[in-house]
A and B are shown apart, each in its own frame.
Chain A
Protein backbone atom coordinates (compact mmCIF):
# COMPACT_ATOMS: atom_id res chain seq x y z
CA UNK A 1 0.00 0.00 0.00
CA UNK A 2 2.70 2.40 1.07
CA UNK A 3 4.80 1.56 -1.93
CA UNK A 4 1.90 2.40 -4.20
CA UNK A 5 1.43 5.77 -2.59
CA UNK A 6 5.11 6.46 -2.95
CA UNK A 7 5.07 5.52 -6.62
CA UNK A 8 2.07 7.74 -7.13
CA UNK A 9 3.86 10.59 -5.40
CA UNK A 10 6.93 10.10 -7.53
CA UNK A 11 4.83 10.14 -10.67
CA UNK A 12 3.11 13.29 -9.53
CA UNK A 13 6.42 14.97 -8.81
CA UNK A 14 7.72 13.88 -12.19
CA UNK A 15 4.72 15.46 -13.87
CA UNK A 16 5.31 18.67 -11.94
CA UNK A 17 8.96 18.63 -12.94
CA UNK A 18 8.11 18.10 -16.58
CA UNK A 19 5.68 21.03 -16.43
CA UNK A 20 8.29 23.25 -14.80
CA UNK A 21 11.02 22.39 -17.25
CA UNK A 22 8.58 22.67 -20.11
CA UNK A 23 7.57 26.15 -19.12
CA UNK A 24 11.18 27.22 -18.65
CA UNK A 25 12.05 25.92 -22.08
CA UNK A 26 9.02 27.61 -23.57
CA UNK A 27 9.80 30.95 -22.01
CA UNK A 28 13.42 30.75 -23.09
CA UNK A 29 12.52 29.99 -26.66
CA UNK A 30 9.80 32.63 -26.64
CA UNK A 31 12.12 35.28 -25.28
CA UNK A 32 14.77 34.48 -27.82
CA UNK A 33 12.23 34.71 -30.57
CA UNK A 34 10.77 37.90 -29.12
CA UNK A 35 14.12 39.71 -28.83
CA UNK A 36 14.83 38.71 -32.40
CA UNK A 37 11.50 40.14 -33.49
CA UNK A 38 12.03 43.41 -31.60
CA UNK A 39 15.50 43.73 -33.07
CA UNK A 40 14.05 43.20 -36.51
CA UNK A 41 11.47 45.93 -35.91
CA UNK A 42 14.17 48.26 -34.66
CA UNK A 43 16.43 47.66 -37.63
CA UNK A 44 13.60 48.05 -40.10
CA UNK A 45 12.48 51.24 -38.41
CA UNK A 46 16.02 52.61 -38.41
CA UNK A 47 16.31 51.85 -42.11
CA UNK A 48 12.98 53.51 -42.87
CA UNK A 49 13.89 56.64 -40.92
CA UNK A 50 17.31 56.97 -42.50
CA UNK A 51 15.99 56.47 -46.01
CA UNK A 52 13.15 58.88 -45.36
CA UNK A 53 15.45 61.60 -44.09
CA UNK A 54 18.18 61.04 -46.65
CA UNK A 55 16.61 59.39 -49.70
CA UNK A 56 18.66 58.30 -52.67
CA UNK A 57 19.03 61.02 -55.26
CA UNK A 58 16.08 61.20 -57.67
CA UNK A 59 14.03 58.94 -55.50
CA UNK A 60 10.93 59.93 -53.57
CA UNK A 61 10.23 57.99 -50.40
CA UNK A 62 7.21 55.86 -50.92
CA UNK A 63 4.78 55.82 -47.99
CA UNK A 64 2.90 52.78 -49.18
CA UNK A 65 6.17 50.90 -49.44
CA UNK A 66 7.04 51.98 -45.88
CA UNK A 67 3.69 50.81 -44.56
CA UNK A 68 4.08 47.50 -46.31
CA UNK A 69 7.52 47.05 -44.87
CA UNK A 70 6.32 47.70 -41.34
CA UNK A 71 3.46 45.30 -41.79
CA UNK A 72 5.84 42.58 -42.88
CA UNK A 73 7.78 42.78 -39.62
CA UNK A 74 4.64 42.44 -37.55
CA UNK A 75 3.25 45.94 -37.05
CA UNK A 76 -0.43 45.10 -37.37
CA UNK A 77 -3.46 46.09 -35.30
CA UNK A 78 -3.73 42.53 -34.03
CA UNK A 79 -0.34 42.73 -32.34
CA UNK A 80 -0.59 45.65 -29.92
CA UNK A 81 2.74 44.89 -28.25
CA UNK A 82 4.65 45.28 -31.48
CA UNK A 83 2.79 48.49 -32.16
CA UNK A 84 3.67 49.76 -28.70
CA UNK A 85 7.32 48.99 -29.33
CA UNK A 86 7.21 50.92 -32.56
CA UNK A 87 5.64 53.89 -30.78
CA UNK A 88 8.41 53.83 -28.18
CA UNK A 89 10.97 53.80 -30.99
CA UNK A 90 9.28 56.77 -32.63
CA UNK A 91 9.32 58.76 -29.41
CA UNK A 92 12.97 57.89 -28.83
CA UNK A 93 13.89 58.98 -32.34
CA UNK A 94 11.97 62.20 -32.16
CA UNK A 95 13.64 63.02 -28.87
CA UNK A 96 17.10 62.67 -30.33
CA UNK A 97 16.73 64.68 -33.53
CA UNK A 98 16.37 68.43 -33.98
CA UNK A 99 16.07 70.87 -36.84
CA UNK A 100 14.62 70.13 -40.26
CA UNK A 101 14.80 66.42 -39.70
CA UNK A 102 12.55 66.74 -36.69
CA UNK A 103 9.83 68.29 -38.81
CA UNK A 104 10.31 65.67 -41.50
CA UNK A 105 10.00 62.87 -38.96
CA UNK A 106 6.87 64.43 -37.56
CA UNK A 107 5.21 64.23 -40.96
CA UNK A 108 6.41 60.69 -41.41
CA UNK A 109 4.97 59.61 -38.06
CA UNK A 110 1.53 61.01 -38.82
CA UNK A 111 1.45 58.77 -41.85
CA UNK A 112 2.57 55.41 -40.65
CA UNK A 113 0.02 52.99 -39.28
CA UNK A 114 0.20 52.77 -35.52
CA UNK A 115 -0.40 56.34 -34.85
CA UNK A 116 -4.06 55.92 -34.05
CA UNK A 117 -2.95 53.56 -31.29
CA UNK A 118 -2.09 56.44 -28.96
CA UNK A 119 -5.41 58.17 -29.52
CA UNK A 120 -7.36 55.00 -28.92
CA UNK A 121 -5.63 54.65 -25.56
CA UNK A 122 -7.50 57.74 -24.40
CA UNK A 123 -10.68 55.71 -24.45
CA UNK A 124 -9.29 53.02 -22.15
CA UNK A 125 -10.81 52.65 -18.71
CA UNK A 126 -7.43 52.15 -17.02
CA UNK A 127 -5.75 55.36 -15.92
CA UNK A 128 -2.18 54.30 -16.73
CA UNK A 129 -3.06 53.46 -20.30
CA UNK A 130 -4.86 56.78 -20.70
CA UNK A 131 -1.94 58.71 -19.23
CA UNK A 132 0.49 56.89 -21.47
CA UNK A 133 -1.64 57.66 -24.51
CA UNK A 134 -1.65 61.35 -23.65
CA UNK A 135 2.07 61.33 -23.17
CA UNK A 136 2.65 59.67 -26.52
CA UNK A 137 0.43 62.22 -28.21
CA UNK A 138 2.32 65.21 -26.89
CA UNK A 139 5.76 63.63 -27.15
CA UNK A 140 5.12 62.97 -30.81
CA UNK A 141 3.67 66.43 -31.24
CA UNK A 142 0.38 65.28 -32.73
CA UNK A 143 -1.64 68.40 -32.13
CA UNK A 144 -4.75 67.19 -33.93
CA UNK A 145 -5.79 65.52 -30.65
CA UNK A 146 -5.74 68.72 -28.59
CA UNK A 147 -9.51 68.61 -28.27
CA UNK A 148 -9.37 65.17 -26.66
CA UNK A 149 -6.74 66.37 -24.22
CA UNK A 150 -8.87 69.37 -23.24
CA UNK A 151 -11.69 67.00 -22.38
CA UNK A 152 -9.42 65.12 -19.97
CA UNK A 153 -8.14 68.16 -18.07
CA UNK A 154 -10.51 67.49 -15.14
CA UNK A 155 -10.14 63.71 -15.09
CA UNK A 156 -10.59 62.16 -11.68
CA UNK A 157 -7.20 60.46 -11.82
CA UNK A 158 -4.39 62.82 -10.93
CA UNK A 159 -1.90 61.36 -13.40
CA UNK A 160 -4.30 61.50 -16.31
CA UNK A 161 -5.27 65.10 -15.68
CA UNK A 162 -1.66 66.09 -15.10
CA UNK A 163 -0.56 64.68 -18.43
CA UNK A 164 -3.57 66.22 -20.14
CA UNK A 165 -2.76 69.65 -18.68
CA UNK A 166 0.85 69.40 -19.78
CA UNK A 167 -0.32 68.36 -23.25
CA UNK A 168 -2.64 71.37 -23.42
CA UNK A 169 0.21 73.69 -22.48
CA UNK A 170 2.48 72.16 -25.11
CA UNK A 171 -0.06 72.47 -27.89
CA UNK A 172 -1.80 75.73 -27.00
CA UNK A 173 0.91 77.64 -25.17
CA UNK A 174 -0.38 80.83 -23.63
CA UNK A 175 -3.85 80.13 -24.92
CA UNK A 176 -4.00 77.24 -22.47
CA UNK A 177 -4.55 79.88 -19.80
CA UNK A 178 -8.13 79.92 -21.00
CA UNK A 179 -8.55 76.55 -19.28
CA UNK A 180 -5.89 76.12 -16.66
CA UNK A 181 -7.09 78.70 -14.11
CA UNK A 182 -10.57 77.23 -14.09
CA UNK A 183 -9.98 73.57 -13.34
CA UNK A 184 -12.30 71.66 -11.06
CA UNK A 185 -9.54 70.15 -8.99
CA UNK A 186 -6.50 71.42 -7.15
CA UNK A 187 -3.13 71.55 -8.86
CA UNK A 188 -0.02 70.51 -6.97
CA UNK A 189 3.03 72.68 -6.61
CA UNK A 190 5.03 70.31 -8.79
CA UNK A 191 2.48 70.53 -11.57
CA UNK A 192 2.52 74.34 -11.40
CA UNK A 193 6.28 74.34 -11.73
CA UNK A 194 6.12 71.94 -14.66
CA UNK A 195 3.62 74.11 -16.48
CA UNK A 196 5.65 77.27 -15.93
CA UNK A 197 8.80 75.54 -17.16
CA UNK A 198 7.08 74.13 -20.22
CA UNK A 199 5.74 77.57 -21.11
CA UNK A 200 9.18 79.00 -20.70
CA UNK A 201 10.79 76.30 -22.85
CA UNK A 202 8.30 76.32 -25.70
CA UNK A 203 6.71 79.78 -25.65
CA UNK A 204 9.28 82.18 -24.22
CA UNK A 205 7.41 85.23 -25.54
CA UNK A 206 4.75 86.09 -22.93
CA UNK A 207 1.24 86.69 -24.22
CA UNK A 208 -0.16 89.20 -21.74
CA UNK A 209 -3.64 89.20 -23.23
CA UNK A 210 -4.32 85.64 -22.22
CA UNK A 211 -2.47 85.94 -18.96
CA UNK A 212 -4.40 88.98 -17.79
CA UNK A 213 -7.72 87.37 -18.60
CA UNK A 214 -6.81 84.65 -16.17
CA UNK A 215 -6.46 87.16 -13.34
CA UNK A 216 -10.20 86.84 -12.68
CA UNK A 217 -9.87 83.27 -11.48
CA UNK A 218 -10.48 82.96 -7.75
CA UNK A 219 -9.05 79.48 -7.35
CA UNK A 220 -6.07 79.42 -4.99
CA UNK A 221 -3.91 77.19 -7.16
CA UNK A 222 -4.60 79.44 -10.16
CA UNK A 223 -3.43 82.50 -8.23
CA UNK A 224 -0.24 80.67 -7.33
CA UNK A 225 0.29 79.52 -10.89
CA UNK A 226 -0.15 83.02 -12.29
CA UNK A 227 2.21 84.49 -9.70
CA UNK A 228 4.82 81.93 -10.65
CA UNK A 229 4.40 82.83 -14.31
CA UNK A 230 4.81 86.54 -13.51
CA UNK A 231 8.00 85.72 -11.66
CA UNK A 232 9.41 83.40 -14.29
CA UNK A 233 8.80 85.82 -17.16
CA UNK A 234 9.80 88.83 -15.12
CA UNK A 235 6.62 90.79 -15.88
CA UNK A 236 7.40 93.87 -13.83
CA UNK A 237 4.25 95.70 -14.87
CA UNK A 238 2.10 93.01 -13.29
CA UNK A 239 3.65 93.00 -9.83
CA UNK A 240 0.41 94.42 -8.40
CA UNK A 241 -1.15 91.03 -8.96
CA UNK A 242 1.39 89.42 -6.63
CA UNK A 243 1.20 92.17 -4.04
CA UNK A 244 -2.51 91.65 -3.50
CA UNK A 245 -1.82 88.13 -2.25
CA UNK A 246 0.93 89.00 0.22
CA UNK A 247 -1.54 89.01 3.14
CA UNK A 248 -3.91 86.39 1.76
CA UNK A 249 -5.53 84.33 4.53
CA UNK A 250 -4.31 81.08 2.92
CA UNK A 251 -0.83 79.99 3.97
CA UNK A 252 0.20 78.49 0.61
CA UNK A 253 -0.94 81.48 -1.37
CA UNK A 254 1.00 83.83 0.90
CA UNK A 255 4.02 81.59 0.64
CA UNK A 256 3.89 81.68 -3.15
CA UNK A 257 3.36 85.44 -3.17
CA UNK A 258 6.36 86.07 -0.93
CA UNK A 259 8.49 83.71 -2.98
CA UNK A 260 7.47 85.35 -6.25
CA UNK A 261 7.76 88.95 -5.12
CA UNK A 262 11.32 88.35 -3.97
CA UNK A 263 12.49 88.25 -7.59
CA UNK A 264 11.47 91.88 -8.19
CA UNK A 265 12.54 95.36 -7.20
CA UNK A 266 9.63 97.56 -6.12
CA UNK A 267 8.71 101.20 -6.53
CA UNK A 268 8.26 103.32 -3.39
CA UNK A 269 4.52 103.12 -3.76
CA UNK A 270 4.59 99.31 -3.95
CA UNK A 271 7.00 99.11 -1.07
CA UNK A 272 4.64 101.17 1.06
CA UNK A 273 1.81 98.84 0.15
CA UNK A 274 3.82 95.81 1.16
CA UNK A 275 4.77 97.34 4.47
CA UNK A 276 1.09 97.91 5.19
CA UNK A 277 0.30 94.33 4.32
CA UNK A 278 3.17 93.12 6.46
CA UNK A 279 1.10 93.57 9.63
CA UNK A 280 -1.68 91.34 8.35
CA UNK A 281 0.48 88.27 7.84
CA UNK A 282 -0.30 85.81 10.59
CA UNK A 283 2.76 83.60 10.24
CA UNK A 284 6.01 84.72 11.87
CA UNK A 285 8.27 82.83 9.47
CA UNK A 286 6.66 84.48 6.49
CA UNK A 287 6.87 87.87 8.16
CA UNK A 288 10.57 87.29 8.66
CA UNK A 289 11.04 86.36 5.02
CA UNK A 290 9.21 89.47 3.92
CA UNK A 291 11.15 91.64 6.35
CA UNK A 292 14.43 90.41 4.92
CA UNK A 293 13.17 91.04 1.44
CA UNK A 294 12.04 94.59 2.31
CA UNK A 295 15.43 95.31 3.79
CA UNK A 296 17.21 93.87 0.75
CA UNK A 297 15.44 96.00 -1.83
CA UNK A 298 15.11 99.26 0.14
CA UNK A 299 17.61 101.92 -0.69
CA UNK A 300 17.21 103.74 2.60
CA UNK A 301 16.25 102.49 6.02
CA UNK A 302 12.66 103.37 6.75
CA UNK A 303 13.16 104.24 10.41
CA UNK A 304 9.54 104.70 11.53
CA UNK A 305 8.61 101.32 10.10
CA UNK A 306 11.45 99.50 11.81
CA UNK A 307 11.03 101.33 15.08
CA UNK A 308 7.39 100.40 15.13
CA UNK A 309 8.38 96.77 14.67
CA UNK A 310 11.08 97.05 17.30
CA UNK A 311 8.65 98.25 19.92
CA UNK A 312 5.47 96.45 18.94
CA UNK A 313 6.45 93.28 17.10
CA UNK A 314 6.81 89.71 18.10
CA UNK A 315 10.11 88.81 19.84
CA UNK A 316 11.59 87.13 16.78
CA UNK A 317 10.64 90.05 14.57
CA UNK A 318 12.12 92.41 17.14
CA UNK A 319 15.38 90.51 17.03
CA UNK A 320 15.71 90.70 13.25
CA UNK A 321 14.65 94.32 13.23
CA UNK A 322 17.33 95.10 15.78
CA UNK A 323 19.77 93.19 13.62
CA UNK A 324 18.87 95.25 10.57
CA UNK A 325 19.06 98.56 12.43
CA UNK A 326 22.33 97.67 14.12
CA UNK A 327 23.98 96.76 10.83
CA UNK A 328 22.77 99.91 9.12
CA UNK A 329 24.25 102.46 11.46
CA UNK A 330 21.29 102.89 13.76
CA UNK A 331 22.98 101.56 16.88
CA UNK A 332 21.52 104.21 19.12
CA UNK A 333 17.97 103.17 18.36
CA UNK A 334 18.74 99.60 19.32
CA UNK A 335 20.55 100.64 22.46
CA UNK A 336 17.74 102.95 23.41
CA UNK A 337 15.27 100.11 23.06
CA UNK A 338 17.56 97.83 25.04
CA UNK A 339 17.80 100.14 28.05
CA UNK A 340 14.17 101.05 27.84
CA UNK A 341 13.33 97.40 28.36
CA UNK A 342 15.11 97.38 31.71
CA UNK A 343 13.58 100.55 33.00
CA UNK A 344 10.23 99.14 32.04
CA UNK A 345 11.00 95.92 33.85
CA UNK A 346 12.27 97.74 36.91
CA UNK A 347 9.12 99.83 36.96
CA UNK A 348 6.89 96.83 36.72
CA UNK A 349 8.84 95.07 39.49
CA UNK A 350 8.60 98.11 41.62
CA UNK A 351 4.86 98.15 41.16
CA UNK A 352 4.52 94.46 41.94
CA UNK A 353 6.42 94.95 45.19
Chain B
Protein backbone atom coordinates (compact mmCIF):
# COMPACT_ATOMS: atom_id res chain seq x y z
CA UNK B 1 0.00 0.00 0.00
CA UNK B 2 1.19 3.49 -0.78
CA UNK B 3 2.09 5.70 2.13
CA UNK B 4 1.21 9.33 2.74
CA UNK B 5 2.15 11.93 5.33
CA UNK B 6 -0.16 14.89 6.01
CA UNK B 7 0.99 17.79 8.19
CA UNK B 8 -1.56 20.53 8.80
CA UNK B 9 -2.13 22.65 11.87
CA UNK B 10 -5.79 23.29 11.13
CA UNK B 11 -7.45 20.11 12.29
CA UNK B 12 -10.41 20.45 9.94
CA UNK B 13 -8.25 20.66 6.84
CA UNK B 14 -6.07 17.90 8.28
CA UNK B 15 -8.99 15.53 8.77
CA UNK B 16 -10.46 16.24 5.35
CA UNK B 17 -7.11 15.68 3.65
CA UNK B 18 -6.64 12.51 5.66
CA UNK B 19 -9.98 11.15 4.46
CA UNK B 20 -9.20 12.13 0.89
CA UNK B 21 -5.86 10.38 1.01
CA UNK B 22 -7.25 7.23 2.62
CA UNK B 23 -10.01 7.01 0.03
CA UNK B 24 -7.36 7.06 -2.64
CA UNK B 25 -5.82 3.93 -1.15
CA UNK B 26 -2.99 5.32 0.87
CA UNK B 27 -1.86 4.44 4.32
CA UNK B 28 -1.95 7.82 6.00
CA UNK B 29 -0.09 9.41 8.87
CA UNK B 30 -1.79 12.68 9.79
CA UNK B 31 -0.13 15.02 12.29
CA UNK B 32 -0.66 18.60 13.37
CA UNK B 33 2.91 19.82 13.76
CA UNK B 34 6.44 18.84 12.91
CA UNK B 35 7.03 18.04 16.57
CA UNK B 36 4.89 14.95 16.11
CA UNK B 37 7.28 13.49 13.56
CA UNK B 38 9.13 10.40 14.68
CA UNK B 39 12.59 9.17 13.93
CA UNK B 40 11.27 6.22 11.91
CA UNK B 41 9.47 8.60 9.56
CA UNK B 42 12.79 9.54 8.06
CA UNK B 43 13.14 6.25 6.33
CA UNK B 44 9.47 5.48 5.80
CA UNK B 45 9.71 6.46 2.14
CA UNK B 46 6.38 8.21 1.71
CA UNK B 47 4.82 8.24 -1.71
CA UNK B 48 3.39 11.62 -0.97
CA UNK B 49 3.70 14.39 1.63
CA UNK B 50 0.98 17.03 1.94
CA UNK B 51 2.23 19.73 4.23
CA UNK B 52 1.80 23.27 5.45
CA UNK B 53 4.83 25.55 5.38
CA UNK B 54 4.12 27.69 8.41
CA UNK B 55 5.56 26.18 11.55
CA UNK B 56 7.09 27.39 14.79
CA UNK B 57 10.76 28.06 14.67
CA UNK B 58 11.43 27.54 10.99
CA UNK B 59 11.09 29.78 7.95
CA UNK B 60 8.75 28.51 5.21
CA UNK B 61 11.41 28.12 2.55
CA UNK B 62 13.82 26.49 4.99
CA UNK B 63 11.11 24.09 5.98
CA UNK B 64 10.52 22.97 2.40
CA UNK B 65 14.22 22.50 1.95
CA UNK B 66 14.65 20.62 5.24
CA UNK B 67 11.76 18.26 4.73
CA UNK B 68 13.10 17.31 1.35
CA UNK B 69 16.48 16.65 2.86
CA UNK B 70 15.34 14.70 5.88
CA UNK B 71 12.28 12.67 4.98
CA UNK B 72 12.45 10.23 2.17
CA UNK B 73 9.55 10.79 -0.25
CA UNK B 74 8.49 10.82 -3.86
CA UNK B 75 6.43 13.96 -4.17
CA UNK B 76 5.60 16.96 -2.03
CA UNK B 77 2.42 19.04 -2.11
CA UNK B 78 2.06 22.29 -0.20
CA UNK B 79 -1.31 23.32 1.24
CA UNK B 80 -1.05 26.53 3.20
CA UNK B 81 -2.75 29.65 4.45
CA UNK B 82 0.33 31.55 3.44
CA UNK B 83 -0.67 31.67 -0.19
CA UNK B 84 0.97 34.86 -1.37
CA UNK B 85 2.01 34.81 -4.94
CA UNK B 86 5.59 35.63 -4.07
CA UNK B 87 5.94 32.63 -1.75
CA UNK B 88 4.35 30.37 -4.32
CA UNK B 89 6.76 31.53 -6.98
CA UNK B 90 9.76 31.09 -4.72
CA UNK B 91 8.77 27.61 -3.64
CA UNK B 92 7.84 26.36 -7.07
CA UNK B 93 10.96 27.86 -8.61
CA UNK B 94 13.64 26.72 -6.22
CA UNK B 95 12.51 23.31 -5.08
CA UNK B 96 11.13 20.14 -6.42
CA UNK B 97 7.51 20.63 -5.34
CA UNK B 98 4.69 19.05 -7.31
CA UNK B 99 1.87 21.31 -6.18
CA UNK B 100 1.18 24.50 -4.28
CA UNK B 101 -2.36 25.17 -3.02
CA UNK B 102 -3.21 28.29 -1.10
CA UNK B 103 -6.25 28.06 1.17
CA UNK B 104 -9.10 28.39 0.17
CA UNK B 105 -8.58 25.40 -2.04
CA UNK B 106 -10.51 22.95 -4.16
CA UNK B 107 -9.69 19.44 -2.98
CA UNK B 108 -10.42 18.03 -6.42
CA UNK B 109 -7.12 19.43 -7.67
CA UNK B 110 -5.25 17.53 -4.99
CA UNK B 111 -7.22 14.40 -5.75
CA UNK B 112 -6.07 14.59 -9.35
CA UNK B 113 -2.46 14.87 -8.24
CA UNK B 114 -2.50 11.93 -5.86
CA UNK B 115 -4.84 9.55 -7.67
Chain A residues packing against B (C-beta within 8 Å) = 42-43, 45-47, 49-51, 53-54, 57, 89, 92-93, 95-101
Contacting B14 at CB < 8 Å: which of A46, A95, A99? A46
B12 lies within 8 A of A53 (CB): no
Give the residue name and chain of the B residue nearest to A94 (CB): B104
Complex CA distance for A43 and B103, rounded to whole angstroms = 20
Size category of the B interface is 10 to 19
A50 lies within 8 A of B19 (CB): yes
- Contact status of A92 and B12, CB under 8 A, knowing A50-B19, A54-B19, A54-B20: yes
Query: Using a CB-CB cutoff of 8 Å, which residues 54-113 of chain B contact chain A?
Result: 81, 103-108
B12 lies within 8 A of A93 (CB): yes
Give the residue name and chain of the A residue nearest to B16 (CB): A50
Which label, helix, strand, loop or mixed, suits the secondary structure of the B interface?
Answer: helix
Interface status of B11 (Cβ within 8 A of chain A): yes
Give the residue name and chain of the B residue nearest to A51 (CB): B19
Give the one of A46, A51, A53 with max B CB within 10 A. A46
Complex CA distance for A45 and B15, rounded to whole angstroms = 10
B16 lies within 8 A of A42 (CB): no
A-B contact pairs, 18 of them (CB 8 A): A42-B12, A46-B16, A47-B15, A50-B12, A50-B15, A50-B19, A53-B16, A54-B16, A54-B19, A54-B22, A54-B23, A92-B10, A95-B104, A96-B81, A96-B104, A97-B16, A99-B107, A101-B107
A99 lies within 8 A of B106 (CB): yes
Complex CA distance for A45 and B11, rounded to whole angstroms = 9
A45 lies within 8 A of B12 (CB): yes
Interface status of B13 (Cβ within 8 A of chain A): yes
Interface status of B52 (Cβ within 8 A of chain A): no
A53 lies within 8 A of B103 (CB): no
Complex CA distance for A99 and B13, rounded to whole angstroms = 15
A49 lies within 8 A of B107 (CB): no
Which residues in A have their C-beta under 8 angstroms from that of B11?
42-43, 46
Smallest CB separation, A66 vs chain B (Å): 14
B104 lies within 8 A of A49 (CB): no
Complex CA distance for A93 and B14, rounded to whole angstroms = 11
Q: Mark B41-63, 1 if CB is under 8 A from A, else 0.
A: 00000000000000000000000
Smallest CB separation, B92 vs chain A (Å): 20
- Contact status of A49 and B108, CB under 8 A, knowing A54-B23, A96-B103: no
A53 lies within 8 A of B107 (CB): yes
Complex CA distance for A43 and B105, rounded to whole angstroms = 21
Which residues in B have their C-beta under 8 angstroms from that of A95?
104
Contacting B10 at CB < 8 Å: which of A47, A96, A99? A96
- Contact status of A98 and B105, CB under 8 A, knowing A46-B11, A46-B14, A93-B12: yes
